[in-house]
Amino acid sequence: MHIFKKSDNKRNQQRDQEAVRSPHEISDETLIASIAQGSIRAMEMLYQRYSRPLYSLAYHMVADQQIAEDLLQEAFLAVWRQAHSYSPQYGQVHSWLFSIIHHRAIDYLRASRRHPINKSVPLDEVDRDESTFSPDAWDTVWLSLRRAQVRAALLALRKEQRLVIELAFFQGWTHTEIAEACQIPLGTVKARMRLGLIHLKRMLEHQGMDPQE
Amino acid sequence: MHCQEFETLAGAYVLGALSPEERQEADAHLAQCPDCQRMLRELQSAADLLPFTVPGVEPSAQVHDRLFAAIRAEASPVAVSDTPRIPERRPHQRSWWHYWQTRMALAAAVLFFLLSGAMVAWNVSLQQRIAQLSAPGASPVVVPIHGTDLAAGASGQIIYLPRLNMTLLVVHGLPSLEGVQVYQGWAIENGHPRSIGLLQIQDGVATLSAPGDLRRAGMIAVSREPGPQASQAAPKGPVVAVGTPPH
């Protein structure tokens, strides 16, 4: 009996050692749960995984490096302080993270009453940026594949639907402001937003991408 | 607010285009309407992908330093800073007979690929062989795989064999490798890559077999790795072919 107990202990130790996997194998949900318990290491991993795409969104919206970095820092501090409030019923972790920084960027844009005009970045410049700056080759590849699919679907939308989506999501305009600026009825703006998102979802599903993944 | 009113606002809601007062009113309605919650989730899933359309830009290292200085200042002295642990998965138990049956069937399948002649004849023979291996009512499931810009002429198939619970990856037209480079297969699950092995190349056809149903992965990718061994945690080289199993 004593011999079997010893074997069990040895197996348990081995199992504990093997349970520590490489960072790539740890799910976002596990990281958030660890952060909620005060794990700075988990916070480092989450930052490594998402700082670039979150910063990219903020920078694209506010067009200012310093402001975008401040927003990034605020967003991750909010994650550190409110990790316990995250629940899978709100959506996936990456959706939650994007919503945190997106709302902060919108608040900034509306508070400053700025609507920056985004210059379009030629595709070859985009590729050059990614290959120069990415610290993680796989993240670049994965995001590039994803980006190409979603961008193609967005460009395939009717231009009036794409316009209202871009003005709202990336420029922080309210639907009322869009209606006034574009001289179109408010109801039309709302309908274009809703239908544009439905069409975007259907196009991506048709390509085999599950938008909820 | 009633449901019809919320439905008209739902697009603006997920895009963040409501005023604070409108959002508050919408949230109050959502709190008590499961139907509208469900409808919102559908639209939210599309809006969640919009951040992926912007060009990638790296923040400065100073942001990281400032952030973690603030976090450490806030963290309690007894904060856990270990590497998060994940539950260990027990390997699926298989009988020895099933193991050898699987390997023999795989060997027969791979041998048949290698002996095939022209591409059309090879394709027809492959389909015939797969039908023989599969039990009635458990037909193989085929998903196309396409070359990326780096391998525009490449194409192939991801073939799931239900009876064997095995997935075959077959790609032709991949560019020739240099030196000790290898082609490696990856299953992409929730954005995280998992190696499924090295592709074997014979007569211009690259093949790989992996246990299980890889259709559950969001994407199957083939990358060109520096070699000679397989890359471990993530691809180090470019992705040359991609297949997206439908859900």
Q: Are residues A127 and A162 in the same domain?
A: no
**Of the candidate ranges A78-82, A114-118, B13-17, B144-148, the one whose mean pLDDT is the lowest:** A114-118
Q: Are residues A24 and A84 in the same domain?
A: yes
Candidates A19, A142, A168; nearest CB to B17: A168
Three-class secondary structure assignment of chain A = CHHHHHHHHHHHHHHHHHHCCCHHHCCHHHHHHHHHCCCHHHHHHHHHHHHHHHHHHHHHHHCCHHHHHHHHHHHHHHHHHHHHHCCHHHCCHHHHHHHHHHHHHHHHHHHHCCCCCCCCCCHHHHHHHHHHHCCCHHHHHHHHHHHHHHHHHHHCCCHHHHHHHHHHHCCCCCHHHHHHHHCCCHHHHHHHHHHHHHHHHHHHHHCCCCCCC
Residue B214 and residue B187 in contact, taking contact as beta carbons nearer than 8 Å: yes
Is residue A9, in this structure, part of any structural domain at all?
A: no
Does B193 sit within 8 Å of A142, measured CB to CB? yes
- Average pLDDT on B89-103 reads 52
Between residues B208 and A13, the one the model is more confident about: B208
Distance from CA of A52 to the nearest CA of B (A): 5
pLDDT at B93 over 50: no
Residue A11 in any domain: the answer is no
* Helix, strand, or coil (residue B159): strand
User: A130 or A146: whose pLDDT is higher?
Assistant: A146
Q: Are residues A23 and A100 in the same domain?
A: yes
Contacts of A60 (CB under 8 A, 6+ apart): A118, A170, B54, B55, B57
In a domain, A198, yes or no: yes
A42 and A82: one domain? yes
Indicate whether A28 and A78 sit together in one domain.
yes
Do A84 and A129 sit in the same domain of this protein?
no
Instruction: State the average pLDDT over residues A52-64.
Output: 92
Residues 131 through 170 of chain A touching chain B, CB cutoff 8 Å:
133-138, 140-143, 145-147, 150-151, 154, 165, 168-170
Identity of residue A80: W
Number of domains in chain A: 3
- B234 with A24: Cβ contact below 8 A: yes
In a domain, A134, yes or no: yes
Confidence of residue B202 (pLDDT cuts 50, 70, 90): confident
- Average of pLDDT values for A119-145? 45
Does A200 contact B46 at a Cβ distance shorter than 8 Å?
yes
Inter-chain CB pairs, A–B, below 8 Å? 254
Of A19, A38, A210, the CB nearest to B218: A210
CA–CA separation, B196 vs A173, rounded Å? 45
The reply to whether A72 and A25 lie within a common domain is yes
Could you report the per-residue pLDDT of A180-205, keeping only the tens digit for each? 988 999 999 999 999 999 999 988 87
* Domains in chain B, CATH or no CATH each: 3-46 (1.10.10.1320), 98-243 (no CATH)
- Pair A78, A107 in one domain: yes
Give the up-direction half-sphere exposure of residue A82: CA atoms within 13 A in the CB hemisphere: 13
Q: What is the ipTM of this complex?
A: 0.74
Q: Could you tell me if B32 lies within 8 Å of chain A, comparing CB atoms?
A: no
CATH number of the domain that residue A66 is part of: 1.10.1740.10
- Tokens 């290898």 -> residue: B182
Cβ neighbours, 10 Å, residue A115: 14
Instruction: Specify the pLDDT at position A185.
Output: 94
Rg of chain A on CA atoms, in Å: 21
Give per-residue pLDDT as tens, B153-180.
888 888 888 877 888 888 988 988 888 8
Residue A172 and residue A140 share a domain: no
Asked, for residue A3, whether it belongs to a domain, the answer is no
Is the minimum CB–CB distance between B94 and chain A shorter than 8 Å?
A: no
Say whether both A126 and A107 belong to one domain.
no
Among the candidates A92, A118, A144, a domain finishes at: A118
Which domain range does residue A90 map to?
Answer: 18-118
Q: Which of B47, B190, B244 sits opposite A197 (nearest CB)?
A: B47
CATH code (residue A197):
1.10.10.10
Mark whether A90 and A126 lie in a shared domain: no
Q: Confirm whether pTM is higher than 0.80.
A: no
Domain contains A12: no
pLDDT of residue A36: 94
In a domain, A57, yes or no: yes
Note whether A178 and A193 are within 8 A (CB): no
Min Cα distance B128 → chain A (Å) is: 27
A88 plus A164 within the same structural domain: no
Single-letter amino acid, residue B98: H
Residue A5 C-alpha, separation from nearest chain B C-alpha, in angstroms: 21
